[in-house]
Amino acid sequence: MENQDKKRVLIIEAALKRFAHYGLSKTTMTEIAKDISFSKALLYYYFPDKLSLYVSAIEHLMQIISRDLVKSIDKTSSSTEGIFKLLQKRQSFIQKYYNLLESTQIIGNELPDDLYQKFSKARAFEAIIISSLFSRGVTSGEFIMEDPKLTTEIFLDALSGIHFNIMSKDKNIFPGKDQFKQIFIKEKLFAEIFLQGLSPKN
Q: What is the pLDDT of residue 114?
A: 77
Q: What is the pLDDT of residue 163?
A: 80
Nearest-angstrom CA–CA distance, 164 and 162:
6
**How many other C-beta atoms lie within 10 A of the C-beta of residue 101?**
20
User: Contact, 178 vs 160, CB < 8 A?
Assistant: no
Amino acid at 47: F
Q: How far apart are the first and last CA of the chain?
A: 59
Q: Which of 181, 177, 126 is nearest to 156 (CA)?
A: 126
DSSP 141: T
Residue by residue, pLDDT tens for the chain (202 residues) are 456 688 999 999 999 999 998 888 889 999 999 999 999 999 999 999 998 999 899 999 999 999 999 999 999 999 999 999 999 998 888 888 888 877 776 565 556 677 778 888 888 999 999 999 999 999 999 999 999 999 999 999 999 898 878 777 665 656 777 888 888 999 999 999 999 999 987 5
Nearest-angstrom CA–CA distance, 64 and 58:
10
Q: What is the 3-state secondary structure (H, E, C) of 20-74?
A: HHHCCCCCCHHHHHHHCCCCHHHHHHHCCCHHHHHHHHHHHHHHHHHHHHHHHHH
pTM: 0.83
> ∠ CA(120), CA(99), CA(169), 5° rounding?
75
Q: What is the pLDDT of residue 135?
A: 94
